[in-house]
Amino acid sequence: MFAYCADPDSLEGLRWFACYLTTGKHMLFYQSFGFVIVLMLITAPIALGVGFAGALASRSHVAPLRWLGTGYTSLVRGVPDIAFFLFMPLALDQGLEWLRHKAKCPDWDGPIRQGSDFVVCAEAKLPLSSSPQWVHEYYGIVLGIAAFAFVFGAFAAFVLAGAMNAVPKAQMETAEAYGMTRRQATWRVLVPQMWIYALPGLSNLWMILIKATPLLFLLGIEDVVYWARELGGRKTSAYDYPHGDWRLWYFLGLLVFYLLLTRISEIGFARLARRLSRGQATLAGAEGARA
């Protein structure tokens, strides 16, 4: 980074730190913070979409759809998150490879499961083993996002179904009295009003999602926790910048990062709640009207 960093052994004090904190490895560490935020911004809308579909399904008048909706929410709510995190990416990956194997190599006669090996033909590998490393990394991240969206979608579905039930029944009856079909009443009356009831539950989920991001580490994705542990560990002279066990400081940095992130989210949600309360027949809405 700086010209004087060329010879790390000769550095002292502030200069040592300036060079140490700008190594290529530290840059990867700083990038991983942005990565966590981007990941949440991608995951949250997907999970909300999955949740919305799940909530509508669990309230559906079509029985199989309702079973699917309630089955999904109760299954995910009843199984530890971490089990899903380890299971989903593996199952998705092997499932997709199996499908591709069936489609691309129909004349392959060896078994796919050979002892503990999972063997598919080279063209069916996902990603192809010839693809560059970043494709493998993105693929892993997409699997991680899928796992997050699946788990958090179930919780969101439950929250949204509750919010739909909380919209005063009189509103729906009035809509039907005006001659709206059930579908019209749902989209024009129920959905616009349910968000204020869903907000406390959803904001809670968002907080849990923020705090769950270190689970990515378990999937082998190089996130903030991975780099904090890697950089903080005691370094011998095999490295350019030897130091003692500094994990405490790195993890303290993570603590501050997550606290900041949750605090900013809290402020954002408070504003959103004020906005959504306007004109609602709730306590907050009534206070807003008086002021």
Interface with another protein (CB under 8 A)? 23-25, 27-28, 90, 93-94, 97, 114-120, 125, 128-136, 220, 222, 229-230, 233-234, 236-242, 245, 247
The smaller minimum CB distance to another protein, of residues 205 and 231, is found at 231
Q: How far apart are CA 72 and CA 64, in angstroms?
A: 12
With 0-12 CB in 10 A as exposed, 13-18 as middle and 19+ as buried, what is 9?
A: exposed
Cβ neighbours for 276, distance < 8 A, ≥ 6 positions apart? 195, 196, 199
Q: How far is the CB of 92 from another protein (least distance, A)?
A: 12
Q: How far is the CB of 81 from another protein (least distance, A)?
A: 18
Q: Report which DSSP code applies to 22.
A: T
The smaller minimum CB distance to another protein, of residues 128 and 270, is found at 128
Buried b (16+ CB within 10 A) or exposed e, 172-192: beebeeeebeeeebbeebbbe
- Answer yes or no: are the C-beta atoms of 123 and 131 closer than 8 Å: no
The smaller minimum CB distance to another protein, of residues 122 and 270, is found at 122
Q: How far is the CB of 241 from another protein (least distance, A)?
A: 6
Q: How far is the CB of 138 from another protein (least distance, A)?
A: 9
The smaller minimum CB distance to another protein, of residues 106 and 244, is found at 244
Q: How far is the CB of 214 from another protein (least distance, A)?
A: 14
Q: How far apart are CA 260 and CA 272, in angstroms?
A: 18
The smaller minimum CB distance to another protein, of residues 96 and 272, is found at 96
Q: How far apart are CA 32 and CA 64, in angstroms?
A: 42
